[in-house]
Amino acid sequence: MNLKPETFQRIDEVITHYPVKRSATLPLLHLIQEDAGHISDEAITWIATKLELQPINVLEVVTFYPMFRRAPIGRRHIKVCRTLSCALSGGFKTCETFEKEFSTHRGEISPDGEVTVEFVECLASCGTAPVVLIDETLHTKVDATKAKQLSDQIKAEAAARK
């Protein structure tokens, strides 16, 4: 497995949190996904060996939990809450704005590789609806105007990187 040394270090540490190794399945999947971007077949086999499990034990977990990905996504991950409170406040328009700004469709990588826009189920911040999680940062009251501003910011950051 090609991972950063600190990821390996954190993996070894997190396993000690549990009396039964299998419990570390979710934490290991998170750590590997954060480092590698998605969960490959190699990662599944590697985790199984590390936790003394069968690969199917890991694969069944990967396919059950929506946050684990089997394929790469764009550089930035835009998750728009789809659930009722956010929808009542205009969440669908928010999502459409992101799709339009990056010329992409939900669930696909944008043509410039910059973002993947997705609908997700409740982000547990219904009082500040509509909400959007960009990578690991929650943005609140994201109406269409704010979605446009956030898109501009992402585009500016991408341009600065190039």
Question: Quick check: 131 and 147 in contact, CB under 8 A?
Answer: no
Q: Is 128:113 a contact under the CB 8 Å cutoff?
A: no
Toward another protein, which CB reaches closer, 143 or 155? 143
Instruction: Pick one of 49, 54, 72, 84: the residue that binds another protein (CB under 8 A).
Output: 84
Residues 6+ apart with CB under 8 A from 150: 98, 132, 134, 139, 142
85/155 with CB nearer another protein: 85
Instruction: Spell out the residues 6+ positions from residue 26 whose beta carbon is closer than 8 angstroms to its own.
Output: 61, 65
| Other CB atoms within 10 Å distance of the CB of residue 25 | 21
By CB under 8 A, what part of segment 19-48 binds another protein?
A: 19-20, 22-27, 29-30
Q: Total number of residues binding another protein (CB under 8 A)?
A: 47
x/- map, 118-147, another protein, by CB under 8 A: --xxxxxxxxxx---x--xxx---------
Shortest Å, Cβ 74 to another protein: 18
Per rule CB under 8 A, is residue 7 in the interface with another protein? no
Write out the DSSP string of 57-80: HHHHHHHHSTT--SS---SEEEEE
Binding site for another protein (CB under 8 A): 17-20, 22-27, 29-30, 51, 53, 57, 60-61, 64-68, 79, 82-85, 87-90, 92-93, 120-129, 133, 136-138
